[in-house]
Structure 1
Amino acid sequence: MGYFLRLLQLLSTCVAFSLVAGVSTLQAAAGSWSIFVWCFCFVMTLIILIVELCGLQSRLHLSWDGFLITCASCATFLCLSGSVIFATACIQLLPHSPFGDHAIAVTAFSSLASVAYATEVVWTCARSGEFSCSVLTLPGLFHRLEIFVACIIFAFISSPHLYVHQPALEWCVAVYSICFLLSAVTLLLNWYNWDNRLPVPVPLVHLGLTLLSALLYASAVVLWPLYQFNGEFGGQPQRSSDVSCRDKLTSYICTWDQRLAVAVLTAVNLLIYVVDLVDLARRFFY
């Protein structure tokens, strides 16, 4: 079952990328994010398959099932985001493009990859025999949602011209990167058995990292909209003032839309961190 799911994941991501790579119009629609998602998931799955075929997982000092669950759950969110972003772009491009069948096929294979990765999460949890599988608990779900939203934010800020002109906006980008790394560290603590290796309890480390991330995101929630949409700080309060939004032939998502999407996603991730913080504090103190 595991090898079958790996092959299905490799096939679906490879076909999605190949169809996009063969048509320049679809490349413009997919953007760098969707292409990166399919390539990253393909390479990650290929490496996992090679490790399992060679029997190298026993030499890695980590919980292999926990590692597989984390990779598969993150790949599920990534492929799902790639499908949504690509399909949304094609809705605007299809009236002007003769490659409608290719776009539908790409969306279908990307969605198939999401289903294959989600199936692997459920199957691995059932096979490992762990009743309290980490991905099915609230802390595990919160960590993966935080990483997922951060990845979507990175997709929208892939253009440096959105933030290089203001130190405050560069700070927001640094916040997204730092919090992404902190969430990754939290996942690493879950993979390894660090209970007896750290001078402080692991739940307290999780609580501290989550608190720090929530404070950093709170600053980004204030600074990003202030410097992007307030005219006194060099922002553009109205969408019509952005020249790129009036040129529909060169970009399906204009710069102002990207700024708004990042502002909304920042607020969403702050909410996730706050809920995660409250849940961790309840578990630690009670």
Structure 2
Amino acid sequence: MIHVDFHSLTRPVGIMRMAAAVLTCVTFILVATVGHVPSPYWTWCMFAWCFCCFFTLLIVVLEFTAVASRLPFAWDDFTAAFAVLACLMLLATSVIYPTLFACGSCGRQIGAAVASWLCLGAYAAEVAVTRLRPGGQTSGFLSTPPGLMKMLEAFLACLVFTSLEAGHYGASPQLRWCVAVYSLCFVFAMVVILVTTGKLTLFFPFSFEPVAVACNVVSALMYMTAMVMWPLESFRNNKRPDDCGHHCGWDKLVVVTFMTILNFIVYTMDSIYSVYLVFFANNH
């Protein structure tokens, strides 16, 4: 039998979630009324607002109906991780949209940008409240540094995929290797997240931690090759065109380059930390 929990709506976290859901919905509507823009960055922004609004409302409904307490995974871990992911998505969106699609006389675009920043503030407040628990307790994998780094790795890979175009890598085997690196490492990260949060490690006849460490190290090495190959091959005899505007394909090459460097750093930190935890800290 389903019971309703009104306290979930009146506590600070519940109020922040309701505000975030309303603001993302308002932002989505404002941008939708302006009209479609044929750009992967516009699509990314719309997806981010829609994704955050849908899952925030889903979390609110599941907590209000007390269904969340019956789910077979750590609910607090999931909601804390989602708030962090929403912060990352909205931070990128709140920078991308006004930079590329707003102007001084675009009222609805400016309103959407302001609403997006306010929504980012709501999610950031939720992260502060849920992460700053008494004693600093964490409730699961996604609330730990390795879990947060895994989400960041997947998020940066999504930004890479958003910026990629077929014409960027189709004619070069080195660049096709880079795209393979982005894809394989994204799959590795998602598998680790799903297996760990779904508690599927209990069904493995061996310890999953060394496997996760191996994935991290291999991913870091693969990203190191992509970090070298992508800029060398992409910008060789390829200067920025004089008529390159906001939606210029050359600028997307720069975005992919920076995201590759950032993700290499994150994977390296993740590898070092996971090696320390599995082979050194656990031995004590």
- Judge same fold: TM > 0.5, yes or no: yes
Match among 240, 243, 247 for residue 246 of structure 1: 243
Match of 1:63 in 2: 74
**Is this contact kept in 2: 1:73–1:117, CA < 8 A?**
yes
2:263 alignment partner in structure 1? 269
Q: Secondary structure at the match of 1:22?
A: helix
Q: Shift of residue 107 of structure 1? A: 1.5
In 2, Cα distance between the equivalents of 1:12 and 1:27? 24
Q: 1:81 corresponds to which residue?
A: 92
Count of paired positions? 268
CA contact (8 A) 2:81 2:148 kept: no
Distance, in Å, in 1 between the alignment partners of 2:154 and 2:26 is 26
1:110 and 2:111 matched: no
**Residues 240, 250 of structure 2: 8 Å contact kept:** yes
The 1:164–1:42 alpha-carbon spacing in structure 2 relative to 1, beyond 3 Å, is farther
Cα deviation for residue 75 of structure 1 reads 0.8
- Cα deviations across residues 89-137 of structure 1 (Å, max 9, x unaligned)? 25xx525xx31x3232211211122122222223334569862455664
2:223 partner amino acid: Y
Which residue in the other structure is 2:236 paired with?
Answer: 230
Kindly provide the CA deviation profile for residues 45-87 of structure 1, in whole angstroms up to 9, marking residues without a partner as x: 2222333333332342111111111111111100110001112
Of the candidates 165, 170, 179, which is equivalent to residue 164 of structure 1? 170
Kindly indicate whether residue 149 of structure 2 is the aligned counterpart of residue 148 of structure 1. Answer: no
Deviation sequence 1:152-183 (CA, Å, 0-9, x none): 212212x3332334344333223222222222
- Choose from 252, 256, 261 the match for 1:258: 252
Pairwise CA distance, 1:18: 1.1
Quick one: which amino acid aligns to residue 271 of structure 1? I
SS of residue matched to 2:103: helix
Deviates more, 1:26-35 or 1:46-55: 26-35
Runs (5+) with no aligned partner, structure 1: none
2: CA distance, partners of 1:137 / 1:188: 15
Alpha-carbon deviation of 1:185? Answer: 2.4
Counterparts of 1:1-286 in structure 2, within 5 Å, are 1=11, 2-24=13-35, 31-90=42-101, 94=103, 98-99=105-106, 101-125=107-131, 131-132=137-138, 137-157=144-164, 159-194=165-200, 196-231=202-237, 236=238, 238-240=239-241, 246=243, 248=245, 252-286=246-280
Q: In structure 1, give the amino acid aligned to 2:240.
A: R
CA contact (8 A) 2:27 2:113 kept: yes
CA distance in 2: counterparts of 1:30 and 1:280, whole angstroms: 33
* d(CA) in 2 for partners of 1:13, 1:182: 30
Q: Give me the whole-angstrom Cα distance separating, in 2, the residues matched to 1:162 and 1:189.
A: 33
Residue identity matched to 1:156: S
Instruction: State the Cα distance separating 1:226 from its structure 2 match.
Output: 3.1
Query: Relative to 1, partners in 2 of residues 1:28 and 1:183: Cα closer, same or farther, differing over 3 Å?
Result: closer
Aligned-partner residue type, residue 284 of structure 1: V
